[in-house]
């Protein structure tokens, strides 16, 4: 039965691809990895076709060098604008990784301290429940509840981060801090409020000052729906019958630290490379970035500083994060021992599966993908033709 379903999906995808208009896309690649790249592109096209995704960006880097980067499909169906490698997408919960790294730099400067409580920085919070150490916000071990139905999709306009935590601040904690993990966007929204309070700056300016300007992440910023942002994709969602529609309006600036950033695959891969190689992080920070916490019953956490600690099917250690919001999705993987970074972004959240970054990584992890040292002359940037809806 499973084989029949797979064959049916393949037939649907190939029929879809054959009926698609051919569109030029923006691609950059290393010729030495052409076989791996072709295999990865087949996975990408199949994924986009079966999930009816209008457009996306995908990138792979090894040992600090980008081997493959491409923008595929359509950024605006209304205006018939194609995606390129600089197109900006909503990345959902992957935003947490940027916020966590900003926190580490603020901790380094003594602006925030992991053992200080949230109340130390925001003294107006309820006395009985919000004595939460800052470190518990980073790892989703604060005990703060998950959003209720409708809270994640609030359509409020111009709601600042400092007011965004009013949704939950008067509710009791689900558990004392540090006992177990309960992922909630409220943890990082509250962390963003602490950053603004202690610096007197907006989170948008903090992000630029502490991270994106330094690492030259030119396509990563807070999504602001009331201003023009060059290169921002249109946003799409699925209707009740799974057809592609324009996503409902959302102003996610109040949740920028947790899910409200724009970025793309190139910037996500640069971000991963910076974690592996850049002197932006000290050796101590890099060592502790992925160090699990010990929770109730001496169980190690699977989330640390926003990252999930994972293993692939072959038992390789992997650090990863994925995110979905109306109008977009993203995923980022780092294989630290293999020095491989893989990322993808889309302008529509997938129907039933995640962006296939593990599949893409697998093509570059095989013995056949072991190449000599990268030579700048082996790279090529061009326009290529792939199916596009």
Q: List, for residues 219-259, the tens digit of each pLDDT value.
A: 999 999 999 999 999 999 988 877 899 998 999 999 999 99
- Work out the average pLDDT over 103-107: 96
Angstrom distances, CA of residue 3 to CA of 46, 358, 375: 17, 21, 42
User: Quick one: pLDDT band at residue 387, thresholds 50, 70, 90?
Assistant: very low
Q: Which two tokens stand for residue 279?
A: 């002197």
Q: What is the pLDDT of residue 370?
A: 46
User: Quick one: pLDDT band at residue 10, thresholds 50, 70, 90?
Assistant: very low
Compute the mean pLDDT over every residue in the chain, rounded to the nearest whole number.
Answer: 87
pLDDT beyond 90 at 363: yes
Q: Are 302 and 292 in contact (CB under 8 A)?
A: yes
Q: Which of 329, 338, 386, 345 is nearest to 362 (CA)?
A: 338
pLDDT beyond 70 at 42: yes
Q: What is the pLDDT of residue 381?
A: 54
User: Quick one: pLDDT band at residue 70, thresholds 50, 70, 90?
Assistant: very high
- Work out the average pLDDT over 353-367: 89
- Work out the average pLDDT over 87-103: 98
- Work out the average pLDDT over 129-149: 91
pLDDT beyond 70 at 195: yes
Q: Could you tell me which residue, 153 or 313, shows the higher pLDDT? A: 313
pLDDT digits (tens, 9 = 90+) for 198-212: 999 999 999 999 999
User: Quick one: pLDDT band at residue 274, thresholds 50, 70, 90?
Assistant: very high
Q: For residue 13, which phi and psi values (nearest 5 degrees)?
A: -65, -45
Q: What is the pLDDT of residue 20?
A: 40
Q: Is the sign of the CA dihedral 182, 180, 132, 171 positive or negative? A: positive
pLDDT beyond 70 at 11: no
The CATH code of domain 2-388 reads 3.40.710.10
Torsion angle, CA of 199/203/209/214, rounded to 10 degrees? Answer: 140
């Amino acid at each position: 039965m499973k084989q029949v379903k797979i064959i049916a999906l393949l037939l649907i995808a190939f029929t879809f691809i054959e009926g698609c208009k051919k569109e030029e896309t923006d691609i950059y690649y290393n010729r030495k990895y052409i076989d791996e790249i072709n295999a990865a592109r087949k996975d990408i096209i199949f994924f986009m076709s079966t999930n009816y995704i209008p457009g996306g960006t995908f990138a792979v880097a090894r040992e600090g060098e980008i081997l493959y980067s491409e923008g595929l499909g359509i950024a605006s169906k209304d205006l018939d604008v194609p995606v390129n490698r600089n197109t900006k997408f909503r990345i959902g919960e992957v935003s947490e990784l940027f916020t966590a790294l900003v926190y580490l730099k603020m901790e380094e400067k003594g602006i925030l301290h992991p053992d200080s409580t949230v109340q130390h920085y925001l003294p107006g919070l309820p006395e009985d429940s919000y004595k939460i150490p800052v470190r518990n916000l980073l790892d989703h071990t604060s005990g703060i509840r998950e959003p209720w139905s409708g809270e994640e999709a609030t359509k409020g306009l111009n709601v600042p981060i400092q007011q965004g935590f009013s949704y939950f601040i008067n509710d009791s904690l689900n558990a004392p801090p540090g006992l177990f993990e309960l992922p909630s966007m409220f943890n990082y929204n509250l962390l963003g409020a602490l950053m603004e309070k202690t610096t007197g700056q907006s989170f948008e300016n903090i992000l630029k000052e502490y991270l994106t300007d330094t690492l030259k992440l030119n396509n990563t910023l807070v999504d602001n729906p009331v201003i023009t942002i060059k290169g921002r994709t249109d946003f799409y969602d699925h209707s009740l019958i799974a057809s592609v529609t324009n996503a409902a309006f959302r102003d996610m600036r109040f949740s920028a630290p947790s899910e409200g950033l724009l970025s793309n695959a190139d910037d996500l891969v640069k971000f991963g490379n910076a974690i592996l190689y850049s002197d932006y992080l000290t050796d101590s920070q890099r060592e502790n970035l992925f160090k699990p916490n010990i929770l109730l019953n001496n169980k190690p956490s699977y989330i640390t500083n926003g990252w999930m600690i994972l293993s692939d099917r072959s038992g390789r250690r992997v650090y990863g994060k994925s995110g979905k919001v109306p109008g977009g999705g993203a995923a980022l993987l780092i294989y630290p021992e293999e020095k491989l970074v893989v990322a993808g972004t889309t302008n529509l959240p997938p129907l039933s599966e995640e962006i296939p970054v593990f599949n893409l990584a697998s093509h570059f992890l095989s013995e056949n993908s072991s190449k000599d040292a990268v030579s700048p002359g082996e790279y090529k940037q061009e326009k290529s033709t792939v199916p596009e809806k």
